């Protein structure tokens, strides 16, 4: 059964419930890195109001949505292309990158990059962000010798390490490389000045991909967008079907990026909870916590292995954390946990203390 086979993404609660021996709704899920405050009530009500229009096609071109996203990021609206989640836009990024002699992919990486690059036969040059001793390598160090004319697909902040790079490293790369795609699916949690979006108007070979999945807590709705040169976005549009985004997602996205209260509440929760969880995890015996700028932490443990920790947390505490077996470079000693609300984070810390302290 697909639903109960080992998950390659976070959030497979059926698989977890099977191991925990309890119903899926009783599981406390730290495996998917989704904002626990969302989705916002304004988004839910925008979807409800839009329901009466589902007997019509969405408006071609998605002008109101492009306008809302453009205002949000202070770019012209023809520099925005909405998509069926960041994952759909990664497919077109993969097709564009397949035109390059090779594309550098820092690994470990979000699984779907391999799918998107393979779909168009892109040549992939994988470079590890973690050395054999488990130490992090910084992105600039990884990219010093990339031949000019190549492509780069990177992620900022990076899933699963949480590493954040300074966009100031990009101009030098953009002068040398033919195409740079930066997936900023987790960037909304971070300071806005860390985004590469202000560089896009100066570099037609830079594409930024964003997602409403994580920060706005809308994985089931499927809404992402690309920001880049209009010629490239028109080319991507010509490659795909005319109605990639449904009208409920359009209404939800406009409501989401204009919901200042939800955005501010999320930043307040994040500023309080993220460093606190980092501090708590750092106290757990036999566990190494990678420094992270994102709403998740990569963890390493050799004894017990992460698979053991994951199973014990499920069976004894109904807590689900993500193993990293689907990242070929990581394996049994690595795991990832999301940041949730303070009481939930405390439950995780207390359970980890028991499981890892043995
Ligand atoms: C780095 C990264 N990019 C993109 C996505 C997918 O985003 P979306 O749901 O918008 O397709 C994920 C989901 O886990 C992710 O981790």
- Which of 38, 81, 87 gets mutated to test ligand 1 (max ligand atoms within 8 A of its CB)? 87
Q: Counting atoms of ligand 1 from 1, which one is nearest the CA of 109?
A: 1
The pLDDT tens digits of the residues spanning 200-237 come to: 999 999 999 999 999 999 999 999 999 999 999 999 99
Q: What is the pLDDT of residue 3?
A: 44
- In angstroms, the CA 185 to CA 158 distance is 9
Q: What is the pLDDT of residue 60?
A: 83
The pLDDT tens digits of the residues spanning 311-350 come to: 999 999 999 999 999 999 998 999 999 999 999 999 999 9
333 Cα: distance to centroid of ligand 1 (angstroms): 23
252 Cα: distance to centroid of ligand 1 (angstroms): 18
Q: What is the pLDDT of residue 4?
A: 53
Tell me the average pLDDT across 17-34: 96
The pLDDT tens digits of the residues spanning 98-116 come to: 999 999 999 999 999 999 9
**What lines the ligand 1 site, CB under 6 Å?**
9, 85-87, 110, 155, 159, 183, 185, 211, 213, 219, 224
Q: What is the pLDDT of residue 7?
A: 72
Q: Counting atoms of ligand 1 from 1, which one is nearest the CA of 33?
A: 14
Is pLDDT at 1 greater than 60 in this prediction? no
- In angstroms, the CA 319 to CA 28 distance is 5
- In angstroms, the CA 195 to CA 223 distance is 19
Which residue from 263, 229, 283, 242 is spatially nearest to 43, judged by alpha carbons?
263
R_g of the chain, CA atoms, integer Å: 20
Q: What is the pLDDT of residue 292?
A: 98
Is pLDDT at 2 greater than 60 in this prediction? no
Which residue from 301, 333, 295 is spatially nearest to 35, judged by alpha carbons?
295
Instruction: List all residues 6 or more positions away from 290 whose beta carbon is below 8 Å from its beta carbon.
Output: 136, 161, 162, 163, 297, 298, 299, 300
pLDDT band at 144 (very low <50, low <70, confident <90, very high): very high
CB atoms near residue 66 (< 10 Å):
20
CB atoms near residue 138 (< 10 Å):
12
The percent of residues above 70 in pLDDT, for the chain, comes to 97
Assign 106 to helix, strand or coil: strand
144 Cα: distance to centroid of ligand 1 (angstroms): 27
pTM value is 0.96
Which residue has the CA at smallest separation from atom 7 of ligand 1?
Answer: 86
Is pLDDT at 44 greater than 70 in this prediction? yes
Average confidence score pLDDT of the chain:
95
355 Cα: distance to centroid of ligand 1 (angstroms): 30
Is pLDDT at 302 greater than 90 in this prediction? no
Quote the tokens at residue 177: 């490389």
CB 318 within 8 A of CB 20: yes
């Amino acid at each position: 059964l697909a639903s109960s086979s080992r998950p390659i993404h976070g959030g497979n609660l059926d698989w977890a419930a099977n191991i925990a021996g309890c119903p899926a709704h009783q599981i406390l899920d730290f495996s998917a890195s989704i904002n626990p405050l969302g989705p916002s009530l304004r988004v839910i009500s925008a979807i409800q109001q839009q329901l009466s229009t589902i007997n019509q096609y969405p408006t071609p071109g998605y002008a109101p949505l492009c306008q809302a996203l453009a205002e949000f990021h202070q770019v012209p609206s023809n520099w925005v292309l909405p998509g069926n989640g960041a994952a759909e836009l990664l497919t077109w990024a993969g097709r564009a990158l397949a035109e390059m002699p090779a594309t550098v992919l820092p690994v470990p990486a979000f699984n779907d990059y391999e799918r998107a690059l393979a779909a168009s036969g892109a040549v992939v040059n994988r470079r590890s962000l973690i050395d054999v001793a488990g130490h992090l390598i910084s992105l600039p160090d990884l990219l010093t010798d990339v031949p000019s004319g190549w492509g780069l697909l990177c992620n900022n902040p990076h899933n699963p390490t949480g590493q954040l790079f300074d966009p100031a490293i990009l101009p030098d790369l953009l002068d040398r490389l033919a195409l740079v795609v930066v997936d900023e699916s987790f960037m909304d949690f971070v300071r806005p000045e860390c985004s590469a979006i202000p560089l896009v108007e100066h570099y037609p070979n830079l594409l930024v991909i964003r997602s409403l999945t994580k920060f706005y807590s809308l994985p089931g709705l499927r809404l992402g967008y690309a920001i880049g040169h209009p010629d490239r976005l028109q080319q991507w549009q010509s490659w795909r079907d005319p109605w990639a985004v449904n009208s409920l997602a359009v209404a939800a996205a406009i409501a989401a990026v204009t919901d200042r209260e939800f955005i501010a509440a999320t930043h307040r929760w994040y500023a309080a909870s993220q460093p606190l969880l980092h501090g708590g995890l750092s106290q757990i015996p036999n566990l190494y916590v990678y420094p992270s700028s994102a709403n998740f932490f990569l963890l390493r443990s050799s004894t017990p292995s992460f698979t053991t920790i994951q199973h014990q947390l499920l069976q004894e505490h109904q807590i689900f954390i993500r193993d990293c077996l689907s990242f070929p470079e990581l394996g049994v000693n690595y795991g990832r946990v999301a940041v949730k609300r303070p009481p939930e984070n405390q439950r995780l810390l207390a359970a980890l203390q028991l499981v890892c302290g043995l």
